[in-house]
Amino acid sequence: MTSMDITATSEWAALARHARELQAAGVDLAGLFETDPDRPGRCTSTAGELVIDWSRHLATDETVELLLALAERAGVAARIEAMLAGEPVNVTDGRAVLHTALRTPAGEAVVTGGVDVAPAIAAERERMGAFVRALCSGERRGATDLPIRTVVNIGIGGSQLGPAMAHEALAAFRSGDLECRFVSNVDPAALAAGLDGLDPAETLFIVVSKGFATAETLANARAARDWAAPVLGFEAAGRHFVAVTANRRRAVEFGIEPYDVFATWDWVGGRFSMGSAAGLAVMAAVGEENFAAMLAGMRTIDEHVAAGPAASVPTLLGLLSVWYRDFWGIQTRAVVPYSQRLRLFGVWLQQVIMESNGKRVRLDGSPVGCDTAEIVWGGPGTDSQHSFHQLLHQGTTVVPADFIVLARPDADVVGVAGAAERHEALVANCFAQAAALAFGSPTAEGDPHRELPGNRPSTVILAPALTPSVLGQLVALYEHQTAVQGAVWGINSFDQFGVELGKTLADGIAADLQAGTAPADTGHDPSTKSLLAHYRRLREL
């Protein structure tokens, strides 16, 4: 199979020409609004409960037309439809990509490889619910018959980022009966913090690892067992561990009872897995109903996309990122939620976009010939305004920004004195930043130091409140954008071979460190040998 070179198409050439014309004409946002009073309305879209204002982009109607033509030429709609239909679109791993199946309503079939996977999803969801009910009611107790008070999720990457982000985002919906903590880093300080103040008799570990082979997760899971075993006994400590994995055998070998192993599947990519049993800790914290509402929110956007992938909002936003990346030479995108509890959203999104689309070859292995994923970074507003916004406004690098803001304060702070005013201040700051970026300041009395040039693009995503459903909608909005970007570039958004070499090298270096091999006698490259020598010397100081 030979992949199409999208950069060699007339649609790509037309966009390149169009970009050059806009750039030569000095297209500016203020001018776009001045000459087009309908722009704010026309360039505001809805998807589910999300209102997406994309009017402050360096794009005209013609740009959008040309981008949609590019998407059509790239076969974006067909790629998205194939993904939703369970075809093996992850060609390098030979797998379907069916995280959308996790949010399919009960009773609807989802067939992949000739098998309807819906019953397995429903059965696992039921097991998750039963487990959470048993945990919260005290029916599932620890080995010494004490109720479980704390759940510690041990996992990394997709087995932590989404669940930790959702757990934080949905703080207002936690029942409060059970505390949930997340440990990912192999740095011993991470587990130490995760275990601080806990009693092994009242603690349950959820080891989340799709492959159950991730070094950090296994090291932390072993260390957690070593922490619990002296208090509870080795066998009894096993009762304090459950697993979420697609590799049941390895989890059982680790010592987890088969009935305590929750399934995930090959066709759910780790970074898209928060709707699977990988979200067990989230369900434990917020309850089955709220978890279901989050899935329903994701489904709302899936349906929006399925209704017409060619013109959906995620398609448009994905195309705008291609526009900047490939036709404006822009390298990064800032994601700034004006919500304290969405502070981990950008961290989650970094894996979704950068692990998915940080690729340099097309499906057939040929070089892409254009730039792919942008670097995603950011942090919560208003804190971000006192940190990196200076660069957004006056730096020499243009950074398109995504602002996310909620119309109402979080449910649990609505009644707090002054919350409404402070929330309004939050919203005002968000809108002000988008305006300042777009329109800048008039030459401030001729003082160039004070001048903000403006003309810097942003999207504002406005939602009613940070509910489980809205969170699900936001997640799916970005998941689908990522798939659209990948489809345009003709890359596989669903593998991640780039992370493997580092793991192999780390294994070899760790083995040498443990064996005490003299750096010069190792088989590593000269710079690593030199680092090893410095490391030894510093260790011995």
Active site residues: 355, 386, 503
Residue 95 is a binding residue for ligand F6P (CB under 6 A): no
Residue 184 is a binding residue for ligand F6P (CB under 6 A): no
Smallest distance, ligand F6P to C-beta of residue 223, A:
16
Smallest distance, ligand F6P to C-beta of residue 157, A:
3
Residue 433 is a binding residue for ligand F6P (CB under 6 A): no
User: What b-and-e string marks burial along 481-507, b requiring 16 or more CB atoms within 10 Å of the CB?
Assistant: bbbbbbbbbbbbbbbbeeeeeeeeeee
Query: How far is Cα 260 from Cα 237, in angstroms, rounded to an integer?
Result: 13
Residue 57 is a binding residue for ligand F6P (CB under 6 A): no
What's the farthest any 2 CA atoms get from each other in the chain? 76
Q: Which stretch binds ligand F6P (CB under 6 A): 43-51, 203-211, 333-341, 472-480?
A: 203-211
Is the Cβ of residue 308 or residue 498 nearer to ligand F6P in the bound state?
498
Q: Which of residues 329-358 bind ligand F6P (CB under 6 A)?
A: 355
Q: Which stretch binds ligand F6P (CB under 6 A): 38-46, 127-135, 207-215, 443-451?
A: 207-215
Residue 209 is a binding residue for ligand F6P (CB under 6 A): yes
Residue 261 is a binding residue for ligand F6P (CB under 6 A): no
Is the Cβ of residue 122 or residue 499 nearer to ligand F6P in the bound state?
499
Residue 99 is a binding residue for ligand F6P (CB under 6 A): no
Instruction: Please identify which residue in 57, 99, 239, 271 interacts with ligand F6P, judged by CB under 6 A.
Output: 271
Residue 505 is a binding residue for ligand F6P (CB under 6 A): no
Smallest distance, ligand F6P to C-beta of residue 344, A:
15
Residue 210 is a binding residue for ligand F6P (CB under 6 A): yes
Smallest distance, ligand F6P to C-beta of residue 216, A:
8
Query: How far is Cα 49 from Cα 69, in angstroms, rounded to an integer?
Result: 27
Q: Are 153 and 208 in contact (CB under 8 A)?
A: yes
Is the Cβ of residue 99 or residue 423 nearer to ligand F6P in the bound state?
99
Q: Which stretch binds ligand F6P (CB under 6 A): 9-17, 29-37, 211-219, 427-435?
A: 211-219
Smallest distance, ligand F6P to C-beta of residue 243, A:
11
Residue 420 burial (C-beta neighbours within 10 Å; 0-12, 13-18, 19+): middle
Query: What's the full length of the chain, in residues?
Result: 541
Query: How far is Cα 463 from Cα 467, in angstroms, rounded to an integer?
Result: 9
CA neighbours closer than 13 Å in the CB half-sphere of residue 109: 6
Is the Cβ of residue 272 or residue 338 nearer to ligand F6P in the bound state?
272
Listed in sequence order, the residues at least 6 apart from 338 whose beta carbon sits closer than 8 Å to its beta carbon are 380, 381, 382, 403, 404, 405, 406, 426, 427, 429, 430
Smallest distance, ligand F6P to C-beta of residue 122, A:
22
Smallest distance, ligand F6P to C-beta of residue 503, A:
8
What are the beta bridge partners of residue 367? 361
Q: Are 357 and 269 in contact (CB under 8 A)?
A: no
Peptide bond before 100: cis, by omega within 30 degrees of 0? no
Residue 458 is a binding residue for ligand F6P (CB under 6 A): no
Is the Cβ of residue 216 or residue 402 nearer to ligand F6P in the bound state?
216
Is the Cβ of residue 29 or residue 207 nearer to ligand F6P in the bound state?
207
Smallest distance, ligand F6P to C-beta of residue 266, A:
11
Query: How far is Cα 454 from Cα 392, in angstroms, rounded to an integer?
Result: 10
* Residue 369: CB atoms within 10 Å: 16
Instruction: Please identify which residue in 90, 214, 300, 485 interacts with ligand F6P, judged by CB under 6 A.
Output: 214
Residue 318 is a binding residue for ligand F6P (CB under 6 A): no
Residue 496 is a binding residue for ligand F6P (CB under 6 A): yes
Residue carrying structure tokens 């075993």:
229
Residue 482 is a binding residue for ligand F6P (CB under 6 A): no
Residue carrying structure tokens 């195309």:
319
Residue 211 is a binding residue for ligand F6P (CB under 6 A): yes
Is the Cβ of residue 172 or residue 243 nearer to ligand F6P in the bound state?
243
Is the Cβ of residue 407 or residue 499 nearer to ligand F6P in the bound state?
499
Query: How far is Cα 45 from Cα 52, in angstroms, rounded to an integer?
Result: 5
Residue 270 is a binding residue for ligand F6P (CB under 6 A): yes
Q: Are 487 and 363 in contact (CB under 8 A)?
A: no
Q: Which of residues 116-175 bind ligand F6P (CB under 6 A)?
A: 156-159
Listed in sequence order, the residues at least 6 apart from 109 whose beta carbon sits closer than 8 Å to its beta carbon are 116, 118
Alpha carbon 398 to its chain centroid, in Å, reads 23
User: What b-and-e string marks burial along 48-60, b requiring 16 or more CB atoms within 10 Å of the CB?
Assistant: bbbebbbbbbbbb
Smallest distance, ligand F6P to C-beta of residue 134, A:
25
Residue 274 is a binding residue for ligand F6P (CB under 6 A): no
Q: Are 356 and 493 in contact (CB under 8 A)?
A: yes
Q: Give the footprint of ligand F6P on this chain (CB under 6 A).
A: 156-159, 209-211, 214, 217, 270-271, 355, 496, 499
